Each structure stands twice: as C-alpha cells, then as structure tokens.
Chains A and B, each alone.
Chain A
Amino acid sequence: MSEIALKGLTKRFDDGTLAVEDLNLEIGDGELMILVGPSGCGKTTALRMIAGLEEISDGELWIDGELVNDFPPKHRDIAMVFQNYALYPHMTVRQNMSFGLEQAKVDKDEIARKVKETAEILDLTEHLDRRPGQLSGGQRQRVAMGRAIVRDPKAFLMDEPLSNLDAKLRTQMRTELARIQNQLGTTTVYVTHDQIEAMTLGDRVAVMRRGILQQVASPRELYEQPANLFVAGFMGSPAINLLTAQVESDTLRSPLGDVALDRRLRDALEHGDRTDRVIIGLRPEHLQDAALTERMPDGTVTFSGEVSVLEAMGAEYYAHFDLGDQTSVSEAIDPSHDAEGDPVGRRHGNDLVARLPINSDVHEGNSIKLWFEPGHLHVFDPESGRRLTEAKA
C-alpha cells in the first residue's frame, strides 16, 4: 500500500499534442481514486504515465515517497488491469497469474500458494488450467484482476476494466470489484468514462477534460457542488438541465419562470464576470410534479410545459419538454459539445428533462405543471463556466 502524488504532471506527444496538462493529484494510502472524463480527455495517458508505460514530459510522479519519473514499470511495483484484459493467450490462467511472480524470481512454492489464494478470492480455482480463449468475458476480467492482485503490489491501476462486459455483468463486476478493493485496501487509480462507475466506486473522483483536471471531490460533492458547467453536465444521468437566464434588478428571468433573487443568488451574481446574464442548472430530480404535491414550500417556482417525449424507466419517468431556441447554452461551455464518444447526455440546449415518479399522470403531448425550489438552482458564469452558487443539496 502506498500514496501516489502527481505534481504538475504533463504529457506532450511528439506531434505537439498536449494530452495532459499540469495535473496535480494526491491519492491517499488505500484510496480508490477515479479518473473520469470523455474520450480523449487524457485520463488513460495519465494512468499510463503512472504505470511507466508513457514517458512523463514534465512534472513529478511520487509513489510511496519516492520520485519514480525515470523508473521503468517493473521497478514501480504497481499492477495494471487493461481495458481488453491483455491476458497472455497461450498461457493457462495459472500461468497468466504466475508470470509476474516468476519475473520477480519468487520461490515456486510461494507462487503456487499465492495463485491458489488469489484464485479462491476471485472464484477462479476450477478454471486455473484453462486458457483465456476458453473463458467467458467475466471470467477473463477476473483473471486480469487476479494477475494484478497476486503480485500484492503497492497500487492497482485499472484502465476501464469493465467496459468490455455487457450491462448486467458490468453491474455485477462493479460490486465485486468494490468488495475486493475494500478487502485488500490497496491504493487504486481507476480510469473510466462511465460516470455511474465513477459515482459508485470511487472514494474520490477526478474529472478531466481536454487534458486538464476540472475537479477532484467525493462523488456526492461532485454531484451537488460541481465546480463548473462541464462537471455539472458530465455527472448525473439524465444530465443536468442547463438554461440561460437574464438578471433584471431583483429577479432572475428564466424560461421556467421568474426567480426572486435571495441572498444566496445575489452573492453568486456578485462573484460572476457578468451581471446581466447567467446559466442556471437544475437536476432533473429537482423538478416535481405539482399534481402529486399536497403543499409546496414557500418561494417555489411553478411552470407548465408540454411533454414532448416520455421515457418510462420502470420505477420512474423521464419527461422531456421542448423549450424552444431561446434557452440554448453556448457551445463553448456546453458539455454536450465535447469529444466524440462523450457519454454526456446529448441533450440540446432547448430540451428540459424531469425525473418524475411512476405514479405521475403524465402523457406525451399533454401539458403538466411542475415546480422546483430556487435553492436547488446552480448558477454558472456564462463566460468561464464556473459555478457561482453554493447549492442546496
């Protein structure tokens, strides 16, 4: 077990591409740190720099109090689980798991004991003499984990280890992975583009975009207090509703209705670069069905909208409302305009979504009355994308 510290870590490729820029991150002993972001955000490059598979252009990498910038991978004592598992296809499960220990010249009996123990933890005992080609996706994934665990390294690095599994198995393995990491208490850096994985697995989550770290915080803090528009849009499914709003004396005029400026909102506006226009963010679960509410709290904002699309999710509805063009968020800061493969809900700026309980009397094409508490509004600077408000949870 050990601590990992990234100090100003930068990766510049030969063609001049800046993949990671001035990354500062401290990962505590036994912590599970998630690096999350859309494709091309630099998270895998950062992981490969920690692994020693990618040269560090600038900055310092410390593992267990030792500067390891120039150490080859084998001298860093860390294990990695790859996205496609990268098992040795010509070796059995047992040989795959033994390989690292053999390279470290560990005694044969000791190798056999460790492989047996690890196989038991991962429920692989009966597959030890099979080759990867004879295993299912889930079993291969466990072998890849086993190959890392058996070495008892200072840290695990995991590069989207669940992305090749089907949805059901992914959920199952996610739980399994959390259990194993908890049991072993090994420092882990886990890369994913799946925000659900990030939210459910991580002790802390580092959100990256275009090579730059956006925010590091606990999953809950990231969700409730996103540092900027990108983080707000990236975390949460369905994605947060982002709308433009005008500031007029004591009122915030939004497409959802006028919101009286209270002290919190007034303070927020004072911190912004502009005083006339802001972007407001509202999570879909903070929009409530008025028909199901007996008594609305004071100061709530109500509005009516026609349901354009209704998605029945089983336990709840995602109701979409078309708000017209007036509300689009600028492309420069809209997270839905990121690199290809960006898992951010690709919602247009004129689309509003509400998560409503399954007992809501809601139908496509019908109008419905919704309300929200202004305390749930996030206010963002339209120029920098910075969050200006301290949001109510």
Chain B
Amino acid sequence: MSATSATLGRTPPRRRSLLRQAMPGIAWWAICGLVALMFLFPLAMVVLTVLKTSSEAAATPPHYLPQHLSGQNFRALSNADIWKYVINSAGVALGTVVGTVIVATLAGYGFARYRFPGRTLLFLGSLMTLMVPFQALLTPLYSVLVFLHLANSLIGLTLVYITFQLPFSLFVMRNAFAEIPQEIEDAAAMDGASTLATLRRVMVPVAKPAVVTVALFAFFSAWNEFLAALIFLSDQSRYTLPVFLTTLVTGKLGAINWGLLEAGVVVTIVPCLVIFLLLQRYYVRGLMSGAVR
C-alpha cells in the first residue's frame, strides 16, 4: 500500500519536469496569457463600450477605444431608476442566500450525521432533481406559486431560486459535514454543548468554506437569473436587474443601445466581482472539500 502511494506520489513531479523540459517558461507565459486574454477581452469590451457615446458605441466598423470618454450611459441608467431594480435583485439574491444556507446547512448536517431509514434514497432523490431541466419545472412551479398567492412576487421568486439551489448546496454541505471528524462533535458533546450549540459554534464555523461556497453560488445564480424572473414577474416595478435590462436596450426601430446595455451589465457584474474577490479563498477551499484527504 505504502509502496503504491509512494510511486503515485512521485509521478506528478516527474511528469511536470518532463513537460517543463519540453516547453520553455516563456511558452507557458504565452499560453496562459492567451487564455487570460480570451476571458478578459469581452469584459474589456464591455467597459470600453460603456465609456463611449451612443453614436460611437453603435459605429460600424466599431472602434475598440473610445474617442471621447462619456458618462452619458450611466446617467441614462440612473434616470431610468435602475437602483430600484438593483434593490429588487439584491433582495432576491440575499433572500436566496439566507434561505439556501439555512436549509442546506440543516439538511446537510442531518444527511451527514444522522442515520435514518431511506437516508441514501432521499439524498440521491434530491440530487436527481439536478438532472431535470430548469425550464421543464417552470410551469408547474408557476402553478404552485399561483396557488400560494406568491406569483408576481419577489418572495415567490426567492423561494423558486432556493428550490433550484438546494440540490447542489445540499451536496456541498453534506460532504463538508461528513468530512469533519466525529471526534470534534463528540468533544463538543463532552463539553456539554447541545446539538444546536454544536452546530452553531463548532460544525458550521469548521465548515465555513463550504458555507461560503453555497452562499456564493446562491448569490450569483439568483443575481444573474433571467428566465424564471421574466416568467414569474409581470409587474415591472418588481423586475430584477436582468429583466429590467431587456426593457432598456431596445431603441428606435429595434436598434440596440449598446452603451446603455453594457452600462447595465457593468452594474450587474460589479457586486459579483467584489464578492467573489473577497471570498474566493473560502470558495476554492469549499469546492475542494472532500476531494483530498
């Protein structure tokens, strides 16, 4: 056994060194730079377009760099009352985060630690919902929301988002809790902590990377989601940001106001970027949980 793991342990560095021999450092930089460019170019174009005037943004052939810096697009967005929709989106996203984290934490802990009949079946059942296309469930969910008098409401939309986030979140939280040694929980029990105190003061803090991962995923998906919001919300004052943006972009004769659209995209991207950069170290650890012992 030890001989096997020793051999496995030695293989990757040998392969790396062979690759390094075959390709000089500068080639690595070139490849990595190219990949980064592929991802960053669209983002750069968004930002540059925002800074152009409407006519310059619509020019053919397009200019890559703005000839006159303009704040006109942001002013137009502000005049269109974008902050109301930002607040709608933020409310839905935060509600989704809180709801998902609470339910996934409690359920994940239950699946990880308690033995009860049908445990595996229930867990697999909840994971199987990941395989059903999101769009296929929209109509039945709409019926449920109408029945609950929650159609065309942000609370209803939040509940729908929580529902869709749960299978993945449950999977992450269950793995994170299962990975915590039983002795830590036993130690808390010996220290006189109740189950709830153990969960709140020991298990959740230890599983913080997983909690952050679940929260980030919930936030991103709720913040960016378009289709369900478009279907479930009919009152424009309740629109979320992605839906609101569609009402803005169309100009005269169906022409797209690119500058305004990209300004809306920037407003949408910024919170995601800030949150991701602040929490990315937890996020990576959360995704890795269970992968390596």
- Are A53's CB and B186's CB within 8 A? yes
Mask: chain B, 175-215; 1 = CB below 8 Å from A; 0 = not: 00000010110111111111001000110011010000000
Given that A73-B189, A103-B191 are known contacts, is A90 also in contact with B208, CB under 8 Å in the complex? Answer: yes
Q: Give complex CA distance A52, B187 in Å.
A: 11
Chain A residues, Cβ within 8 Å of B193: 74, 99, 103
Q: Which of A52, A83, A87, A90 has the most CB of B within 10 A?
A: A90
A104 CB-CB contact with B under 8 Å: yes
- Are A80's CB and B197's CB within 8 A? no
- Are A100's CB and B184's CB within 8 A? no
Q: Give complex CA distance A370, B186 in Å.
A: 54
Q: Which of A78, A87, A90 contacts B190 (CB 8 A)?
A: A78
Q: Give complex CA distance A84, B184 in Å.
A: 9
A88 CB-CB contact with B under 8 Å: yes
- Nearest A-chain residue to B187, judged by Cβ: A86
Chain B residues, Cβ within 8 Å of A74: 189-194
Q: Which of B187, B193, B201 has the most CB of A within 10 A?
A: B187
* Interface of chain A: mostly helix, strand, loop or mixed: loop
Q: Which of A72, A80, A104 contacts B187 (CB 8 A)?
A: A80
- Nearest A-chain residue to B189, judged by Cβ: A73
Q: Give complex CA distance A392, B148 in Å.
A: 87
A280 CB-CB contact with B under 8 Å: no
* Interface of chain B: mostly helix, strand, loop or mixed: helix
Q: Give complex CA distance A139, B222 in Å.
A: 46
Q: Give complex CA distance A80, B208 in Å.
A: 26
- Are A83's CB and B192's CB within 8 A? no
Q: Give complex CA distance A93, B77 in Å.
A: 53
Question: In chain A, residues 36-86, which have Cβ atoms closer than 8 Å to a Cβ of chain B?
Answer: 51-53, 72-74, 78-80, 82-84, 86
How near does chain A come to B176, taking the closest CB pair, in angstroms? 13
A147 CB-CB contact with B under 8 Å: yes
Chain A residues, Cβ within 8 Å of B183: 82-84, 86
Chain A residues, Cβ within 8 Å of B205: 88, 90
How near does chain A come to B38, taking the closest CB pair, in angstroms? 38
Q: Give complex CA distance A136, B194 in Å.
A: 30
Mask: chain A, 76-120; 1 = CB below 8 Å from B; 0 = not: 001110111011111000000001100110000000000000000
Q: Give complex CA distance A104, B193 in Å.
A: 9
Mask: chain A, 137-150; 1 = CB below 8 Å from B; 0 = not: 00000000001000
How near does chain B come to A391, taking the closest CB pair, in angstroms? 41
Chain A residues, Cβ within 8 Å of B190: 51, 53, 73-74, 78-80, 100
Q: Give complex CA distance A85, B146 in Å.
A: 54
- Are B186's CB and A147's CB within 8 A? no
How near does chain B come to A248, taking the closest CB pair, in angstroms? 49
- Are B202's CB and A88's CB within 8 A? yes
How near does chain A come to B73, taking the closest CB pair, in angstroms? 45
- Are A103's CB and B208's CB within 8 A? no
Q: Give complex CA distance A197, B184 in Å.
A: 25
Given that A82-B183, A84-B181, A99-B201 are known contacts, is A89 also in contact with B192, CB under 8 Å in the complex? Answer: no
Mask: chain A, 11-29; 1 = CB below 8 Å from B; 0 = not: 0000000000000000000
- Nearest B-chain residue to A54, judged by Cβ: B186
How near does chain B come to A155, taking the closest CB pair, in angstroms? 11
- Are B192's CB and A88's CB within 8 A? no
- Nearest A-chain residue to B202, judged by Cβ: A88
Given that A80-B186, A99-B201 are known contacts, is A86 also in contact with B191, CB under 8 Å in the complex? Answer: no
- Are A99's CB and B191's CB within 8 A? yes
Given that A74-B193, A103-B191 are known contacts, is A88 also in contact with B184, CB under 8 Å in the complex? Answer: yes
Chain B residues, Cβ within 8 Å of A51: 186, 190
Given that A82-B183, A83-B183, A99-B201 are known contacts, is A88 also in contact with B206, CB under 8 Å in the complex? Answer: yes
How near does chain B come to A72, taking the closest CB pair, in angstroms? 8
Q: Which of B181, B189, B197, B208 contacts A53 (CB 8 A)?
A: B189
Chain B residues, Cβ within 8 Å of A84: 181, 183
- Nearest B-chain residue to A14, judged by Cβ: B115
The 10 lowest CB-CB distance pairs between A and B, nearest first, are A100-B191, A86-B183, A74-B192, A103-B192, A86-B187, A90-B205, A82-B183, A80-B190, A73-B189, A86-B184
Binding site for A on B (CB under 8 A): 181, 183-184, 186-194, 197, 201-202, 205-206, 208
**Sample (7) of A-B pairs whose CB atoms are under 8 Å apart:** A51-B190, A53-B190, A74-B194, A82-B187, A86-B183, A88-B202, A90-B205
